[in-house]
Structure 1
Amino acid sequence: MFKIEKATTNEAQLIAEIGRQSFLESHGHSASEDDIKNFVDKTYQEKAIAEEFKNENVQYYIISYEDKIAGFSKIEINALSPWIDEAAVTKLDRLYLLEAFHGKKLGVALFNFIIETSKQHNQKGIWLAVWVENLKAIKFYTKNEFKIVGNYDFKLSDTRSNPNHIMFKAY
């Protein structure tokens, strides 16, 4: 019923569209309308996403359900973190699922796929930043053996930052 495939630069526009929509769905209320609009306009554009594919450690994966694109993830292999004393760790930079596909266990499937992909790259763990108000995500990651190891202010604009937890799961 679902399929996960590694994305290429050919999907940069699709990833940008999904990123924009899912960010608005999950974080659209976290700042002013202008701050959110400026952030998504800068972050979720085809050119910006395509540029990320130049980094060989960055990998995007697209999940589809019944032949419809449901979401994507972005990881970075060997992504150093000031909160973690290990070089061989993966950063789970994004795991976005469109609201229309919530409740179908697709997020869990994509998450498990990312963990296995990270392990296949001989990583020692995986880390991420999660908005402190995203209690559903924090509960999910805690249930999956992530520990809060630090805090980070996610900069949305020159005048707005949202507090995030840095969470880490060792393998």
Structure 2
Amino acid sequence: MNTIAIRKAELGDLAAVQEIARATFFETFAATNTEADMRHYLTEKFSDATVSAELNHPDSSFFIAWADETPIGYLKINTGPAQTEPQGDTALEIERIYVRNAYHGKKVGQLLYEQALVSARQQNKTQLWLGVWEENPRAIRFYEKNGFVAFDKHIFQLGTDQQTDILMRKILA
């Protein structure tokens, strides 16, 4: 297998982030959502304007996993006002860990998660939190294996469909 490198993304990585985001979101969720809802979400959430604003936000960071010169996954983390739901100044949100299906089971998600831990510790955060779709058992198991526990739920809007995300938290020692 190729060597996996994790690098912090910059605005110049816009196309790579968009490509990974669109491909992995489609691979993961297309079979369980309508074509119209998927098209709307992919167009709106991963547009040039939206992703550029996210990459430029001072309280958000992206990290791309590369297999040689191929982007295969990414991590998006948020603090402060960039969090999708306020969890306080001591929290770091993992908004996305997206990995191409071809690289599932190769520890890419674990490497991206470990980057979130490093970032949290560098910023003196005391907790990590995230939302995960209640119908994504693979992701739920991944987070539980890494010490996350459910603490609440919220609604995630995918096109016209309201879906329930489980909010999970990990307290850092």
TM-score with structure 1 length normalisation?
0.92
Q: Is the 1:77–1:121 Cα contact (8 Å) retained in structure 2?
A: no
Q: Deviations over 1:1-33 (max 9, x none)?
A: 111110001111211111001000111123211
Percent identity at matched positions? 27
Partner residue in 2 for 1:164: 165
Superposition pairs of residues 1-171 of structure 1, within 5 angstroms: 1-78=3-80, 79=83, 81=85, 84=87, 86-157=88-159, 159-171=160-172
Report the aligned-residue RMSD: 1.4
CA distance in 2, matches of 1:41, 1:53: 17
The residue type paired with residue 133 of structure 2 is W
| Structure 2: runs of 5 or more not aligned | none
The residue type paired with residue 166 of structure 2 is H
Matched residue count? 168
| CA deviation after TM superposition for structure 1 residue 108, in Å | 0.8
CA distance in 2, matches of 1:80, 1:124: 18
CA distance in 2, matches of 1:105, 1:80: 26
| CA deviation after TM superposition for structure 1 residue 80, in Å | 7.6
| Structure 1: runs of 5 or more not aligned | none
TM-score with structure 2 length normalisation?
0.91
Q: Deviations over 1:17-76 (max 9, x none)?
A: 110010001111232110111111111122211111232110000011233211111001
CA distance in 1, matches of 2:54, 2:69: 26
Distance 1:166 1:106, change over 3 A: same
Distance 1:53 1:69, change over 3 A: closer
Q: Deviations over 1:86-117 (max 9, x none)?
A: 43100100100011211211111111121111
Distance 1:80 1:89, change over 3 A: farther
CA distance in 2, matches of 1:63, 1:53: 16
Distance 1:7 1:43, change over 3 A: same
The residue type paired with residue 121 of structure 1 is Q
CA distance in 2, matches of 1:44, 1:54: 14
Q: Is the 1:8–1:53 Cα contact (8 Å) retained in structure 2?
A: yes
The residue type paired with residue 169 of structure 2 is F
Q: Which has the higher helix share?
A: 2
